[in-house]
Chains A and B, each alone.
Chain A
Amino acid sequence: MTKVKSPSLKRRDFLRGATAGAAVLVTTPGAPGKPLTANPRTGPPPPMSHKAEVEIPSVAEVLTADRTGSDFMVDVIKSLGIDYVCANPGSSFRGLHESVINYGGNKSPEIITCLHEESSVGMAHGYAKIEGKPLLVFAHGTVGLQHAAMAVYNAYCDCVPVYIIAGNIIDATKRMPPVEWSHSVQDAAAMLRDYVKWDDLPISLTHFAESAVRAYKIAMTPPMMPVLLIADGELQENSIPNDAKLSVPNLVLATPPQGDSAAVSEAARLLAAAENPVLIVDRAARTPAGMALLVELAETLQAAVIDQAGRLNFPTRHPLNQTERGRDAIANADVILGLELNDFWGTIHSFRDQMQRTSRPITKQGAKLISIGSGNLFFKSNYQNFQRYSELDVDIAADAEATLPALIESVKRQLGTRGKSALQDRGARLATAHQQTLQNNREAATYAWDASPVSTARLCAELWGQIKNEDWSLVCTTGFVSRWPQRLWAFDKYHQFIGGSGGYGIGYGAPSAVGAALANRKHGRLSVNIQCDGDLLYAPGVLWTAAHHKIPLLTIMHNNRAYHQEVMQVQIMANRHSRGIDRAKIGTGIDEPSIDYAKLAQGLGLYAEGPISEPKEVGPAIRRAIEVVKRGEPALIDVHTQPR
């Protein structure tokens, strides 16, 4: 067959012709000229006509292509060093999908099969927190992004780079009815525009290349956030013209913004002169180097550090770590430095949720407030995650980690040799307080030690006992288990904790854990996830993804059989109204029947045990599961726990 290269005969033109042809076919078999009585959508497929079988077409259609736009798109993606693509399959990006697995060899990037777009983005979220760079998400421009939206919002709030390419068919005349019309959209990015940092709709391959590299650069410049590109179906699937001059632009990442030198010097002066300086860190450390810089700053000043755990900023057993007595430290501070502190106001105020909501500052009068953060560099109006306005004395719009070296140098200069003994005394006092707090935590953990259901303190102590000698990484948030890991465990490496969801959207825990475990896999780390039951139920299929791709991950179910936060919220209302105080679990409980997560996980291909209600059975079960995880597979232990 002779190929006729006709630039005008594009994929959608062919599809339209094919549709017309099919229409002819369904009217010709049987009795010629008579319409079929059977519904062509539900009846048997029609036989091929004799004419179509034997006649040679007068003009051969172009039915194959050697190289399409999506191949070039894969070249661009490969240039960005992206290792994985998380995707739930969708026809609007079928060109890209096929190019990744065949033209690109399904390697760098490799397709990770996801069962929900929220899982895709959640995995990307967790992955980026360990790996420090984004993976790619493919999604339908309509239903896919709608599924993904909650997870994108979490990543946006958490300042995490996620790279999304969504398929769409822009030209209305090229959409095959009926599904492609329902899955096409005029402005696909509109539904996410409030919570992505940047988006674009390239209309040529050169445009795609430049926007793809630009998007990566924007996502990776603090404040890091999700970005979104729309890949038109035509652009993906059409052949690349022979005379096309395409090239992939070089990627040069922008350096993170550092603070103004005069403002940094003023901050250093205040800190050096302070009697009780306090450092409050939230998402301050972007890398292991950031954690080391924070330790250096704290030790230089002998200052108390409160880690709000957006990342692992500061070692939990460092004597200057005063997180568990943070309120006292803040009340006693004369200078407070917030580093990438998202909620400065909420940190220095108490807020009382009674009939009349009231608040009051917990700082002492005259305390100087300093902020260094990239939050000032990027604002959007609609979503209110920027928190309440805080009156600051020095506000430095900059990336904290990039500014720390200059700040440390300035503090050292300002301190000089003066007051060394005072600094040592302060450090000694803080070390004593730290040790006392650790002891208090251990004493607190003894309460309900042998209780059934298992207390969260016992659960975390048993887990720590099994992993403490491994190269472990806790790939979940800890607020739902009363922060027992930070209170009892020794965290001292950046990869040992990934922080929370950012936007508090439930459904983040399971996929972000699998994504972080994917990043940890090549390092041979033991990834551990304390998984809330309600969170897992949003999209439990991500466990299958872990099994399918052999992502080693130990999941311990914190199965308190309720959306417990909401149980408490309903309880507050019932008490306030003095009625039905025994009915708060209506609409909030996840029991009767109690869900068997071990069976659920087994059905999805995991090794699993449980449910376990007796504390003494927890440790041995975890030990058996770790053996499975060390073989490169995911495992799950279901534990019936107390609420928090």
Chain B
Amino acid sequence: MNNWIFRSTTVKTSVRRTRSAFFFYQLPTSQIGFFMVLASTVAVLLTAMPTEAGTTGAPRQASKPAMGNVQNGKLVFEIQGCNKCHGSEGEGLATPGQKGAVPRIATTSLALPTFIQQVRKPAGQMPPYSSQKVSDADLADVYAFLQTLTTKPVASNAANPKEGQRLFTTYGCYECHGNLGQGSTRTGGSRLGPPQIPLSGFVSYVRQPNGEMPPYASKVVSNQELADIYSFLQSIEQPPPSNTIPLLNQ
């Protein structure tokens, strides 16, 4: 019974956030700014309310983004779509340095002003976010949220690729990604083998995917099992170039 009560509470929170995101997608751009202001206002009010930890956040001024509200930061992170490129836990989506890579930003080493400056005028392919689109206060909250995402070891034991292959099949990963993680345009399952993201990002995505993939909660797949699966994917050899296969050059 207690589980049901707890579960319902969790779902309710999730619904509110998702609807917020959906709501913004439906709006003309001209109205998004208004609602972002409204969201900021709500965020300020939320900050003033007692949090789960029992603290009370003081109303903040945009010019003084010293301390951030983690809860609002996560909300802004998702509404603004930061998670779409950087991953739901800021882990990045490809090995840094590669073309198209998105850097890991969890536990950013940048100072807050530099972080805000980077968001306003990004150096790479990231689109700029103006202060009309997201305020300094909200960015401070995002910053605070990112600071909570400390990279934790996902597995304590040595990973077992053979066990990983078994789990990859048993837990249905192959259904969308193919038996060797080759992916499929039809299922939407991306190519996994060998993986292009670090283990932490892999685990983070599996737990809370931002696309079509169904989530694998820790209740049904442990971090150790995910590490085994990851090691299986790592063990898959790179295939030969297509120009060495005559059937692929006809």
Contacts and interface: CB of A to CB of B under 8 A. Distances in A.
Interface of A: 324, 352-356, 358-361, 365, 439, 442-449, 451, 453, 455-457, 461-462, 464-465, 468, 479-483, 487-488, 564, 567-568, 571-572, 574-576, 578-579, 581-582, 584, 642-644
Given A444-B191, A447-B183, A468 B216 contact: no
A445 B249 CA distance: 11
A446 B175 contact: no
A581 B171 contact: yes
Given A448-B182, A642-B182, A644-B178, 9 more contacts: A354-B214, A439-B242, A445-B248, A447-B178, A462-B247, A483-B185, A488-B248, A568-B187, A643-B174
A354 B174 CA distance: 20
Q: Which 10 A-B pairs have the closest CB atoms?
A: A575-B214, A447-B182, A446-B239, A442-B242, A360-B25, A448-B182, A644-B184, A448-B180, A356-B18, A461-B247
A576 B215 contact: yes
B212 A353 contact: yes
Interface string B229-250: 0000000000111100101111
A446 B221 contact: no
Contacts of B220: 575, 578-579, 581
Nearest to A571: B172
A177 to B, nearest CB: 52
A358 B219 contact: no
A355 B214 CA distance: 9
Contact of B245 (A446, A468, A482): A446
A448 B184 CA distance: 12
B64 interface: no
Given A447-B193, A480-B186, A579-B220, A571 B175 contact: yes
B170 A582 contact: yes
Contacts of B191: 444, 447
B124 interface: no
B22 interface: yes
A449 B245 contact: yes
B211 A352 contact: yes
B46 interface: no
Contacts of B187: 482, 568, 643-644
B1 interface: no
B157 to A, nearest CB: 21
A451 B250 contact: no
Contacts of A575: 214-217, 220
Given A575-B216, A581-B171, A482 B186 contact: yes
B182 A444 contact: yes
B234 to A, nearest CB: 14
Contact of B242 (A446, A483, A571, A578): A446
Interface string B149-179: 0000000000000000000001110111011
Contact of A442 (B174, B186, B219, B248): B248
A582 B172 contact: yes
B176 A568 contact: yes
A355 B15 CA distance: 9
Contacts, number: 137
A496 B113 CA distance: 60
A643 B247 contact: no
Interface in B181-235: 181-187, 191, 193, 211-212, 214-217, 219-221
A150 B14 CA distance: 40
A449 B239 contact: yes
Contacts of A465: 247, 250
Contacts of A584: 172, 175
A643 B249 contact: no
Which of A324, A482, A584 has the largest count of B CB atoms less than 10 A from its CB?
A482
B19 interface: yes
B122 to A, nearest CB: 19
Given A358-B21, A581-B221, A444 B250 contact: no
B11 interface: yes
B132 to A, nearest CB: 16
B29 interface: yes
A643 B216 contact: no
Nearest to B221: A581
A445 B250 contact: no
Contact of B19 (A324, A356, A446, A468): A356
A488 to B, nearest CB: 7
A7 B185 CA distance: 67
A453 B182 CA distance: 13
A482 B176 CA distance: 11
Contact of A567 (B172, B212, B247): B172
A450 B181 CA distance: 13
A564 B29 contact: no
A355 B215 CA distance: 10
Contacts of B242: 439, 442-443, 445-446
9 contacts: A355-B14, A356-B15, A358-B18, A360-B25, A446-B240, A461-B248, A482-B187, A574-B214, A642-B174
Contact of B14 (A356, A574, A643, A644): A356
Which of B193, B241, B249, B250 has the largest count of A CB atoms less than 10 A from its CB?
B250
A575 B175 CA distance: 13
Contacts of B245: 446, 449, 461
B226 to A, nearest CB: 13
Contacts of A480: 186
Given A568-B175, A568-B176, A582-B171, A444 B183 contact: yes
Contact of B250 (A324, A449, A468, A642): A468
Interface in B42-74: none
Contacts of A564: 175
A446 B217 CA distance: 32
Contacts of A571: 172, 175, 214
Contacts of B170: 582
Nearest to A484: B185
Contact of B184 (A453, A488, A643): A643
A581 B173 CA distance: 10
Nearest to A564: B175
